[in-house]
Chains A and B, each alone.
Chain A
Amino acid sequence: DQQVKQNSPSLSVQEGRISILNCDYTNSMFDYFLWYKKYPAEGPTFLISISSIKDKNEDGRFTVFLNKSAKHLSLHIVPSQPGDSAVYFCASTSGGAQKLVFGQGTRLTINP
């Protein structure tokens, strides 16, 4: 039972353009959502998060959008830079349970 799904295993974007990574979830109890970035041979690094009481959160080049009715969230990176090339995981949690449920990840490649 995959409660958090990232249906695109990979994404290739030109430098300077917008990268959009998508994530869907099935558990209506999830109330907090996070994005992590992972480089090879390193642990995941927290990027940005959003509470279910919001529909948008912005931090510099990174914006996360949450559509609760569609159970869908997306991460926008503008403008995309070569250093953004990594695997991106979305994760969800509920009720302050601390347990994070992760998606399968999307490998983002930024082309010069």
Chain B
Amino acid sequence: SAVISQKPSRDICQRGTSLTIQCQVDSQVTMMFWYRQQPGQSLTLIATANQGSEATYESGFVIDKFPISRPNLTFSTLTVSNMSPEDSSIYLCSVDLNRGYNEQFFGPGTRLTVL
């Protein structure tokens, strides 16, 4: 498996502001993913972040709202921009260790509350 950390673990933000979430992995990985879990909902993929290329966003998510950086093989950031209360969610990063089994390993998540 992999050890994945996220910062911050939680935050309370004012509407209209932005928050950048960091994800650090203890090994080099090609594919990293960002998910959102809204209250009482399932996990929804926001985007796939590969090092050296632009992130690929899922339907309903756009780069202006959720810009992603992937500067190297162990680190990624997700920014939630111009926040509204509807952005209150748990944001999780995950990695695929490329073992061919499709398992992804998740970080502990960032609980975001927007007032």
Interface pair A46/B103, CB less than 8 Å apart: yes
Binds B, one of A64-72, A75-83, A92-100: A92-100
Interface pair A99/B45, CB less than 8 Å apart: yes
A49 and B4 contact, Cβ closer than 8 Å, known pairs A42-B109, A89-B43: no
A43 and B102 contact, Cβ closer than 8 Å, known pairs A89-B43, A99-B48, A100-B45: no
Interface pair B108/A42, CB less than 8 Å apart: yes
Interface pair B103/A43, CB less than 8 Å apart: no
Interface pair B92/A43, CB less than 8 Å apart: yes
Q: Count B interface residues, CB 8 Å.
A: 27
Q: Count A interface residues, CB 8 Å.
A: 23
| Contact partner, A102, options B43, B102, B109, Cβ 8 Å | B43
A-B contact count (CB 8 A): 58
Interface pair A93/B41, CB less than 8 Å apart: no
Interface pair A105/B102, CB less than 8 Å apart: no
A43 and B42 contact, Cβ closer than 8 Å, known pairs A98-B48, A98-B96: no
Interface of chain B residues 10 through 25 with chain A (CB within 8 A): none
Residues of B near any A CB (own CB < 8 A):
1, 4, 9, 31, 33, 40-45, 48, 58, 92, 94, 96, 100-109, 111
Residues of A near any B CB (own CB < 8 A):
4, 32, 34, 36, 41-46, 49, 89, 91, 93, 96, 98-105
